């Protein structure tokens, strides 16, 4: 009981502190007359309200925007407006969000920073995407991506590539979607954002599945699964195996589906996030129902249906998951021949607007047509068959086109590889020819040398006297060499004496600085010694920080084992209150590098863009 009361006390005191801070900022704002001071207070106040997802954030963000407009701080206006736009999107008030986006983009000529326009385009692209206006979404996402790349905001550029790919995915424009996905994946990998890199890889395989390349999708997932295992990312592992379950189901390979389903069911229990564990648990039930229906096992399927009904009532589900539930129920009621309960499910499912369950919808309409035919409703039969024929043609044409494009791109890639191999072979051949040329040249040189040796020997015997004279000249030359050697030794001795003389001068300077107030000499000597002392101090500071933050570092590693040594060091420095510039100086790096590192750390800690890294660190 005491422990429970303590938890309640801590929780209420935290809320009280946050509310107290908001009230304090409101009071300061009310009593402030200086616009610059008001802007700073409003900035802190809006951050607190956004973190709490307070309804008041709209009022105070609007006040912030009016103030930045009067101060002509248009980049600050654009930066803060993103949160109000997202607030409207979360409230499904797309009209307000769109008007705010357009009005601020009308001021883009006044922005000094390129990423101000880029962030607004990213938000407007999101609005277009949610309204399924994918062409306009692609346009805005692409423009924002170019601006982010130009301004050096690589992490946002990667996000923009990903959103462009998602838009192409929904339009089933195959090669463009693949190209943008791979660019996003490459950027995430460079930035060390392994979670998002795996997510993008998963989306690529989903695109393969959508276009009927099931075996290719399953093969690609082996690489993703290996990476997810190395990173101990159980969510990514479960997602990848879940995709395999669906693909084996579509292939009709129920044995492999069941094997993957067993792995999937075990993996989901390793997930810490409650939502993901529930979501994947529901998926496992659905495909177990499919498997038991394929096996004709009514008893096992019935038990799973009861379990499904219990799980289904727990929370609201997405349309995507609700569609999967309808398919599983249809399979079960068809197996037990319960036409009364099967009919409304087939009718509902066949009318859902989806691009991911087209083959299942075709089967549902086919079954409906059979039921209508038994009832004598031939007009319905003709209507359903016409819809199926149209959908089948669209699927066939899309898959045929995308298959051609995929094979063409693979063929082109193979041709490039072939050209590279041919060029490598040519280079190898040239190297062999160069080696042969070198051997010939060496042989020729050897022959010439041999010839000259023989000639020298011949002339030696014929000109013995000349050789004796030459020997005499050599003696004279050796004497000269000996003389020069002595001179060199003398110079060397003099040089050593000069060096010793300089050392004595240095010692005299030291004595002079000790005996008289030679401020300039002392400062020079101090500067020469300072670098070693500074280095020693720096090492001592880092050691002291590690000792002070020992418990914090230990807890941080336990909670987030995915953090690197550099990530932990940056968190530790932030813990003791160092700002970004101080951290950059201490780590001998740039402020931008520290900022990018903090962005990656926030993603690894699953913090949203609105959450403060420093606030989170201080809670540990």
Range of lowest pLDDT (89-98, 374-383, 411-420, 526-535): 411-420
Find tokens 């498997």 and name the residue.
291
Alpha helices in 296-377 (DSSP H): 298-312, 319-335, 339-350, 358-375
What is the per-residue burial (b if ≥16 Cβ within 10 Å, else e) of 290-315? bbbbbeeeeeebeebbeebeebeeee
Judge whether 389 and 377 are in contact, CB under 8 Å: no
Give CA–CA dist 278/306, Å, rounded: 16
Write out the two tokens for 215. 């075996």
Question: How large is the C-alpha radius of gyration of the chain?
Answer: 38
- The arithmetic mean of pLDDT across residues 125-153, rounded, is 93
Looking at residue 538, its pLDDT comes to 54
Q: Does pLDDT of 481 surpass 80? A: no
Looking at residue 12, its pLDDT comes to 37
Looking at residue 250, its pLDDT comes to 87
Give Cα separations from 53 to 16, 168, 350, 606 (angstroms). Answer: 16, 32, 39, 17
Write out the two tokens for 537. 């101090």
Give CA–CA dist 150/156, Å, rounded: 11
Looking at residue 428, its pLDDT comes to 63
37-45 contacts, C-beta under 8 A, 24 or more apart: 38/67, 39/64, 39/67, 39/68, 39/71, 39/73, 39/76, 42/67, 43/80
Give CA–CA dist 577/597, Å, rounded: 17
- The arithmetic mean of pLDDT across residues 185-208, rounded, is 91
Looking at residue 474, its pLDDT comes to 59
Q: Which residues contact 398 (CB under 8 A, 6 or more apart)?
A: 172, 211
Reported pTM: 0.56
Looking at residue 490, its pLDDT comes to 43
- The arithmetic mean of pLDDT across residues 63-81, rounded, is 93
Find tokens 């059979």 and name the residue.
370
Give Cα separations from 85 to 115, 165, 374, 468, 550 (angstroms). Answer: 16, 23, 54, 102, 42
Looking at residue 11, its pLDDT comes to 39
Q: Does pLDDT of 489 surpass 50? A: no
Average pLDDT, the chain: 78
Give, as one character, the DSSP assignment of residue 563: -
Write out the two tokens for 491. 């110079």
Looking at residue 457, its pLDDT comes to 60
- The arithmetic mean of pLDDT across residues 334-359, rounded, is 80
Find tokens 């810490």 and name the residue.
272
Looking at residue 510, its pLDDT comes to 59
Q: Does pLDDT of 248 surpass 90? A: yes
**Which residue did the predictor score with more confidence, 355 or 245?**
245
Q: Does pLDDT of 210 surpass 90? A: no
Q: Does pLDDT of 185 surpass 90? A: yes
* Nearest one of 263, 322, 326, 239 to 289, comparing CA atoms: 326
Looking at residue 412, its pLDDT comes to 41
Judge whether 331 and 290 are in contact, CB under 8 Å: yes
Backbone phi, psi, residue 296, to 5°: 70, 25
Looking at residue 580, its pLDDT comes to 87
Give Cα separations from 354 to 140, 170, 252, 385 (angstroms). Answer: 24, 10, 22, 18
Q: Does pLDDT of 62 surpass 90? A: yes
- The arithmetic mean of pLDDT across residues 611-620, rounded, is 86
Q: Does pLDDT of 483 surpass 90? A: no
Judge whether 80 and 61 are in contact, CB under 8 Å: yes
Band (369; pLDDT cuts 50, 70, 90): confident
- The arithmetic mean of pLDDT across residues 512-521, rounded, is 50
* Nearest one of 8, 35, 90 to 610, comparing CA atoms: 90
* Nearest one of 181, 401, 423, 164 to 409, comparing CA atoms: 401
Residue 84: CB atoms within 10 A of its CB come to 23
Give CA–CA dist 425/429, Å, rounded: 6
Query: What is the CB-side half-sphere exposure of residue 551 using CA atoms within 13 A?
Result: 2
Give, as one character, the DSSP assignment of residue 192: T
Q: Does pLDDT of 377 surpass 80? A: yes
Q: Does pLDDT of 228 surpass 70? A: yes
Q: Does pLDDT of 65 surpass 80? A: yes
Looking at residue 498, its pLDDT comes to 45
Judge whether 570 and 601 are in contact, CB under 8 Å: yes
* Nearest one of 278, 300, 282 to 291, comparing CA atoms: 300
Q: Which of 24-33, 119-128, 392-401 has the highest mean pLDDT?
A: 119-128
Q: Does pLDDT of 84 surpass 60? A: yes
Give CA–CA dist 28/36, Å, rounded: 13
pLDDT in tens, 537-583: 455 566 666 666 788 888 888 888 898 888 888 898 888 888 888 88
Looking at residue 113, its pLDDT comes to 92
**Which residue did the predictor score with more confidence, 57 or 426?**
57
Q: Which residues contact 292 (CB under 8 A, 6 or more apart)?
A: 300, 301, 304
Find tokens 């201080």 and name the residue.
618
Range of lowest pLDDT (170-179, 197-206, 478-487): 478-487
Band (272; pLDDT cuts 50, 70, 90): confident
Give, as one character, the DSSP assignment of residue 314: S
Q: Specify burial of residue 543 (Cβ count, 10 A radius: 0-12, 13-18, 19+).
A: exposed
Write out the two tokens for 212. 């009927």
**Which residue did the predictor score with more confidence, 452 or 588?**
588
Judge whether 307 and 285 are in contact, CB under 8 Å: yes
Q: Which residues contact 125 (CB under 8 A, 6 or more apart)?
A: 136, 137, 138, 139, 140, 141, 144, 160, 163, 167
* Nearest one of 182, 190, 140 to 160, comparing CA atoms: 140
pLDDT in tens, 415-457: 445 444 545 555 566 566 666 667 766 776 776 777 666 756 6
Give, as one character, the DSSP assignment of residue 589: S
* Maximal C-alpha separation, the chain: 131
Judge whether 114 and 151 are in contact, CB under 8 Å: yes
Q: Does pLDDT of 530 surpass 60? A: no
* Nearest one of 344, 369, 276, 362 to 315, comparing CA atoms: 276
Looking at residue 314, its pLDDT comes to 54
Find tokens 């309409």 and name the residue.
365
Give CA–CA dist 106/200, Å, rounded: 33
Q: What are the DSSP calls for 420-454, one per residue?
A: HHHHHHHHHHHHHHHHHHHHHHHHHHHHHHHHHHH
Give CA–CA dist 221/202, Å, rounded: 7
């Amino acid at each position: 009981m005491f422990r429970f009361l303590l938890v309640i006390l801590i929780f209420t005191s935290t809320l009280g502190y946050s509310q107290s801070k908001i009230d304090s900022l409101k009071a300061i704002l009310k009593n402030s007359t200086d616009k610059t001071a008001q802007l700073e207070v409003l900035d802190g106040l809006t951050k607190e309200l956004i973190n709490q997802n307070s309804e008041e954030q709209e009022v105070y963000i609007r006040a912030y925007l009016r103030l930045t407009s009067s101060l002509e701080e248009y980049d600050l206006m654009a930066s803060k407006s993103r949160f109000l736009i997202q607030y409207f999107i979360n409230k499904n008030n797309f009209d307000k969000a769109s008007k705010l986006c357009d009005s601020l983009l009308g001021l883009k000529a006044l922005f000094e920073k390129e990423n101000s326009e880029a962030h607004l385009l990213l938000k407007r692209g999101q609005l277009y995407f949610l309204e399924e206006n994918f062409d306009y979404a692609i346009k805005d996402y692409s423009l924002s991506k170019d601006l982010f790349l130009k301004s050096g905001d690589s992490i946002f550029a990667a996000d923009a590539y990903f959103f462009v790919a998602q838009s192409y995915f929904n339009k089933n424009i195959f090669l463009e979607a693949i190209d943008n996905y791979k660019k996003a994946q490459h950027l995430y990998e460079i930035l060390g954002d392994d979670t998002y890199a795996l997510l993008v890889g998963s989306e690529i395989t989903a695109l393969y599945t959508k276009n009927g390349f099931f075996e290719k999708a399953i093969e690609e997932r082996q690489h993703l699964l290996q990476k997810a295992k190395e990173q101990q990312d159980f969510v990514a592992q479960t997602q990848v195996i879940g995709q395999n379950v669906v693909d084996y189901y579509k292939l009709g390979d129920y044995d492999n589906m069941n094997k993957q389903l067993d792995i999937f069911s075990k993996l989901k229990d390793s997930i810490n996030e409650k939502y993901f564990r529930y979501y994947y648990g529901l998926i496992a039930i659905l495909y177990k129902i499919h498997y038991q229906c394929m096996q004709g096992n009514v008893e096992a399927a019935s038990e799973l249906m009861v379990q499904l009904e219990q799980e289904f009532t727990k929370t609201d589900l997405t349309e995507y998951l609700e569609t999967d539930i309808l398919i599983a129920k249809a399979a079960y009621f068809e197996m037990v021949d319960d036409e009364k309960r099967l009919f409304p499910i087939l009718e509902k499912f066949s009318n859902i607007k989806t691009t991911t369950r087209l083959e299942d919808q075709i089967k549902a309409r086919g079954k409906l047509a059979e039921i209508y035919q038994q009832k004598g409703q031939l007009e319905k039969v003709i209507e359903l068959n016409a819809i199926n024929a149209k959908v089948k043609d669209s699927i066939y044409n899309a898959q045929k086109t995308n298959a051609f494009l995929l094979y063409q791109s693979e063929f082109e890639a193979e041709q490039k590889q072939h050209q590279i191999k041919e060029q490598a072979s040519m280079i190898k051949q040239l190297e062999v020819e160069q080696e042969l040329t070198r051997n010939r040249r060496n042989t020729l040189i050897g022959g010439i040398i041999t010839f000259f040796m023989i000639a020298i020997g011949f002339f030696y015997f014929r000109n013995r006297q000349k050789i004796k004279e030459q020997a005499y000249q050599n003696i004279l030359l050796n004497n000269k060499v000996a003389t020069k050697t002595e001179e060199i030794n003398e110079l060397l001795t003099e040089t050593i004496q000069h060096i010793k003389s300089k050392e004595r001068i240095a010692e005299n300077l030291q004595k002079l600085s000790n005996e008289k107030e030679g401020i300039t000499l002392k400062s020079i000597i101090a500067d020469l010694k300072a670098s070693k002392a500074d280095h020693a101090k720096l090492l001592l500071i880092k050691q002291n920080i590690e000792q002070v933050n020992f418990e914090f570092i230990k807890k941080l590693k336990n909670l987030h084992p995915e953090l690197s040594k550099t990530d932990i060091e940056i968190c530790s420095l932030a813990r003791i209150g160092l700002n970004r510039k101080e951290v950059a100086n201490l780590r001998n790096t740039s402020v931008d590098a520290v900022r990018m590192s903090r962005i990656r750390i926030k993603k690894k800690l699953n913090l949203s863009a609105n959450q403060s890294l420093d606030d989170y660190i201080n809670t540990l």
